[in-house]
Amino acid sequence: MVKRLARLSDSVVDIHQGESTRTAVTTAGGPATISTTRSDSVIDIHEGESTRTAVTTAGGPATISTTRSDSVVDIHEGESTWTAVTTAGGPATISTTRSDSAVDIHEGDSTWTAVTTAGGPATIATTRSDSVVDIHKGESTRTAVTTAGGPATISTTRSHSVVDIHEGESTRTAVTTAGGPATISTTRSDSAVDTHEGESTWTAVTTAGGPATISTTRSDSVVDIHEGESTWTAVTTAGGPATISTTRSDSAVDIHEGESTWTAVTTAGGPATISTTRSDSVVDIHKGESTRTAVTTAGGPATISTTRSHSAVDIHEGESTWTAVTTAGGPATIATTRSDSVVDIHKGESTRTAVTTAGGPATISTTRSHSAVDIHEGESTWTAVTTAGGPATISTTRSDSAVDIHEGESTRTAVTTAGGPATISTTRSHSVVDIHKGESTRTAVTTAGGPATISTTRSHSAVDIHEGESTWTAVTTAGGPATIATTRSDSVAIPALRVQALH
């Protein structure tokens, strides 16, 4: 057994300056451990570089852990390079806990790597909580790799601070090559002010059937702000699911600014899923571009889903480009649900594309309901395409809002080339005021006998107003029916539409 222990506590001023290199190695099964505890100081300052390496070659655990807590001012400056490696099945773990300080500041780059080559788990875990001011500055690079079936996990928990600020870039990579799960997860909650600034690049990859998962939970803060770009990629090549999920809820002010690029890919039948849930905040604002892509090449479903609900003010601004593609029969689905908010506003362009090439259904669906004010502004371009018999469907449901307003152009296209039905359907009902402004272009096309259908139902609103031009086209080239149907009933004001059907 090899251990390197450091305990520094109960000092008025605790300052560590200069470089420190710590190495723990075992070759016959014992644990290799490097641990540090710093606590209960008035001023705790760590300056300079630290290099820590824990290695075992015969099954023992390799562990690097630090605990810093209960200081008035806790400052860590400089680079830290920590590496935990096991080659015979033991776990490789890097963990940090920072908590209960009045001011907790981490500045400088950190590079942490956990690797196992014989089935043990590779884990990097950080916990920061219960400080008055918690600030993380600089770049962080965290890598967890397993090559023989163990899980690769990178997790972060930040909570219960008055001010929680993360600045700088973060690069996190979890990789498994023999069936273990690759997981990157973050939880941020219960802070008065929670701010994340800078770029985040997170990648989860499995090559032998394990799931690749990236998940974030942000909740219960007074002010929750995310600024900067986020690039998240989940990939599986042997049947495991690739999942990217985010949950943001129960904050007084929840603001997301900057670009987000999320990609989920599976190549051997697993599902590719991107899901977001935002709910129960007083003010929920999303600004900037979002690019989400879900792809499967061996029959798995490709799904992009969003749920936004129960907020007092829910505003989405900026462009969104969402693409779901399957090439071996799986369904391609893009679904959004927005409901039960006092004010629900969507501004900017939305481009949604669902494509299947081997018989699976391509579906784009939207449900907006039960809000006091529901406003959609800007252009929307939605396209559903199938080339091997699957149905192509675009459907929208808007209902039960006090004021439902759609402004701007909408272009919706459903195409099938091998007999599947092409359907575009809209239902708007049971609102007090239902207003549609701007141009709408809807096109349903089938080339191998399937039906092409465009249908609209608007009903049971006190005031139903449609303003602007609408051009709807239904085309079939091999005997299928081409149908355009509109139903408007039980409302006060009902202007007409202009449509055409081609056979």
Tell me, what's the pLDDT at 318?
85
Say if residue 2's pLDDT is above 60.
no
Q: In this predicted structure, which of 57-66, 443-452, 488-497 has the lowest mean pLDDT?
A: 488-497
Q: Does residue 498 sit within a domain?
A: no
pLDDT in tens, 289-343: 999 999 999 999 999 999 999 999 999 998 999 999 999 999 999 999 999 999 9
pLDDT in tens, 263-282: 999 999 999 999 999 999 99
Say if residue 1's pLDDT is above 70.
no
235 and 197 in one domain? Answer: yes
Say if residue 357's pLDDT is above 80.
yes
418 and 295 in one domain? Answer: yes
- Over residues 465-474, the mean pLDDT reads 93
Say if residue 501's pLDDT is above 50.
no
Mean pLDDT of the chain, nearest integer: 92
Q: Does residue 459 sit within a domain?
A: yes
Contact 300, 329 (CB under 8 A): no
AA letter at 497: L
How far is it, in rounded angstroms, from Cα 206 to Cα 149? 10
Which residues, in sequence order, are bridge partners of residue 324? Answer: 294, 354
Q: Does residue 386 sit within a domain?
A: yes
pLDDT in tens, 43-54: 999 998 999 999
193 and 261 in one domain? Answer: no
Domain stop point among 240, 266, 283: 240
298 and 224 in one domain? Answer: no
Q: Is 10 exposed, middle or buried (0-12, 13-18, 19+ CB in 10 A)?
A: exposed
pTM: 0.93
Tell me, what's the pLDDT at 198?
86
137 and 102 in one domain? Answer: yes
Region of residue 462 (phi > 0: left; psi between -120 and 50: alpha; otherwise: beta): alpha
Return the DSSP state at 130: S
- Over residues 203-212, the mean pLDDT reads 97
The pLDDT confidence band at residue 10, using thresholds 50, 70 and 90, is: low
328 and 317 in one domain? Answer: yes
Domain stop point among 240, 266, 298: 240
CA gyration radius, the chain: 27
pLDDT in tens, 179-203: 999 999 999 999 899 998 989 999 9
The better pLDDT of the pair 4, 235 is held by: 235
262 and 177 in one domain? Answer: no
219 and 334 in one domain? Answer: no
Say if residue 17's pLDDT is above 70.
yes
Return the DSSP state at 424: E
Tell me, what's the pLDDT at 498?
41
Tell me, what's the pLDDT at 168?
85
- Over residues 480-493, the mean pLDDT reads 90
296 and 233 in one domain? Answer: no
- Could you list the residue range(s) of the whole structural domain that residue 293 is in? 242-492
356 and 263 in one domain? Answer: yes
Q: Does residue 501 sit within a domain?
A: no
Say if residue 503's pLDDT is above 50.
no
182 and 124 in one domain? Answer: yes
User: Which pair of structure tokens corresponds to residue 56?
Assistant: 């075992």
Q: Kindly report the number of other CB atoms within 10 A of residue 231's CB atom.
A: 16
Say if residue 416's pLDDT is above 90.
yes
Number of domains in the chain: 2
> Between the CA of residue 346 and those of 284, 400, 408, what are the distances in Å?
12, 17, 11
- Over residues 21-39, the mean pLDDT reads 96
Domain stop point among 224, 240, 256: 240
The pLDDT confidence band at residue 493, using thresholds 50, 70 and 90, is: low
Say if residue 468's pLDDT is above 90.
no
